[in-house]
């Protein structure tokens, strides 16, 4: 398949970053691409591929080398998520959750004992998940009802979590519960929970529209026993853990959506060059050319917004507004690009014989998880108005 995007030099990438991007791209094309359709149909991610993610050091990109990680910056995680998502959004989100949510939470809030116990595992073979959402707390994340009661040297957790990515395969969960509902957000506490803990159970797996190979499940906690030493950060400070981690995670979703849009448009460009009507490729018609030009421009804008947010994060500069902008704009661009590519394919785009419809299905989640588009607009508005 021709790659129009690779022909445009990305001068903002260093030689090291470009080599890394190219290696992930080659891996995704060679190893993931042949399995995309079967994994989507089965609703299950190939376990051998997951093992290869660890072997390629894609699951501990920011984890220091002293813990067995790659010791790279946040921007490298963003590149990996984008390139994997160009081929399969499910692959992208698995790596995204691991790096931008789970590992980042441990790196930012874990004490030295927790880092020693978990970071080497996360880098070498243990998949993680991030458990915040509940039936009654989605956008209003701090309305969660899962309760944690201190009994001796353990917390006893009871409640239910929904929409948890990586839940089937994960062994370690960053999970949020309240120690006292009367305290509101000041009662929320983050816990490191292992799947083997008594009282912890993975429940129903969702049958989803898109990113079908990525597992999304409910979690059930019935008198789940969690040692006190597995509190992540301070008791009652879970709201800070969740807010700061999700700010980083939104850049990852921006990268996922850029990847989805890029992969879709690659196929669209190839198709319009090959499809002939009225004795010539449809790419020669101005109507098609203008559509492709507009989509490519919006995609590049989404990419640069996402890259900028990631650069700011690595530079330890404020990035919350830019992260919200990247997620908001990239998710809208992905939906527009993938929808338009379906139309470029015509009737073929509406069938599963071609990849256009899968990219379209995969794009929709970008506006929903890790903060809906409306929540991103609210964040952007507050910060912009506050600056004036």
Distance CA 312, CA 23 (A): 24
Distance CA 127, CA 50 (A): 9
Dmax (CA) of the chain? 80
User: Could you tell me which residues come within 8 angstroms of residue 241 by beta carbon, excluding any fewer than 6 positions away?
Assistant: 105, 108, 109, 174, 176, 190, 232, 233
- Helix, strand, or coil (residue 192): strand
User: Could you tell me which residues come within 8 angstroms of residue 358 by beta carbon, excluding any fewer than 6 positions away?
Assistant: 36, 37, 40, 210, 352
For residues 164 and 219, is the Cβ–Cβ distance under 8 A?
yes
User: Integer distance in angstroms from the first to the last C-alpha of the chain?
Assistant: 47
Any catalytic annotation for residue 370?
yes
CA dihedral 359, 264, 254, 26 (to 10 degrees): 110
Distance CA 277, CA 283 (A): 10
Distance CA 77, CA 62 (A): 8
Question: In what helix (H) or strand (E) does residue 223 lie, and over which residues does it extend?
Answer: strand 216-227
Catalytic residue, chosen from 62, 218, 335, 370, is 370
Active site residues: 370
């Amino acid at each position: 398949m021709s790659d129009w995007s690779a022909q445009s030099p990305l001068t903002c990438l260093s030689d090291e970053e470009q080599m890394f991007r190219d290696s992930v791209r080659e891996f995704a094309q060679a190893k993931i691409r042949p399995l995309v359709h079967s994994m989507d149909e089965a609703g299950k991610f190939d376990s051998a591929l997951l093992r290869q993610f660890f072997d390629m050091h894609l699951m501990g990109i920011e984890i220091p080398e002293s813990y067995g990680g790659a010791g790279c910056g946040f921007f490298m995680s963003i590149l990996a998520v984008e390139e994997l998502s160009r081929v399969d959004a499910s692959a992208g989100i698995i790596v995204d959750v691991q790096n931008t949510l789970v590992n980042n939470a441990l790196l930012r809030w874990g004490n030295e004992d927790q880092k020693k116990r978990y970071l080497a595992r996360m880098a070498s073979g243990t998949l993680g998940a991030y458990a915040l959402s509940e039936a009654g707390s989605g956008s209003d994340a701090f309305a969660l009802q899962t309760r944690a009661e201190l009994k001796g040297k353990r917390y006893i957790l009871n409640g239910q979590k929904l929409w948890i990515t990586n839940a089937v395969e994960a062994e370690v969960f960053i999970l949020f519960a309240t120690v006292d509902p009367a305290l509101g957000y000041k009662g929320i506490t983050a816990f490191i929970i292992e799947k083997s803990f008594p009282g912890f159970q993975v429940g129903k797996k969702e049958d989803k529209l898109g990113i079908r190979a990525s597992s999304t499940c409910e979690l059930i906690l019935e008198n789940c026993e969690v040692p006190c030493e597995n509190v992540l950060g301070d008791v009652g400070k879970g709201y800070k853990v969740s807010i700061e981690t999700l700010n980083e995670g939104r850049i990852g979703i921006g990268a996922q959506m850029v990847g989805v849009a890029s992969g879709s448009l690659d196929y669209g460009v190839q198709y319009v060059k090959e499809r002939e009507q009225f004795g010539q490729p449809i790419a020669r018609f101005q109507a098609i050319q203008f559509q492709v030009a507009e989509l490519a421009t919006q995609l590049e804008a989404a990419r640069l917004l996402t890259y900028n947010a990631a650069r700011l994060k690595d530079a330890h500069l404020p990035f919350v507004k830019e992260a919200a902008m990247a997620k908001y704009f990239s998710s809208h661009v992905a939906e527009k690009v993938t929808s338009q590519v379906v139309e470029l394919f015509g009737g073929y785009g509406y069938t599963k014989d071609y990849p256009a419809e899968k990219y379209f299905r995969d794009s929709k989640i970008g506006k929903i998880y890790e903060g809906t588009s409306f929540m991103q607009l609210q964040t952007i508005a507050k910060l912009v108005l506050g600056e004036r």
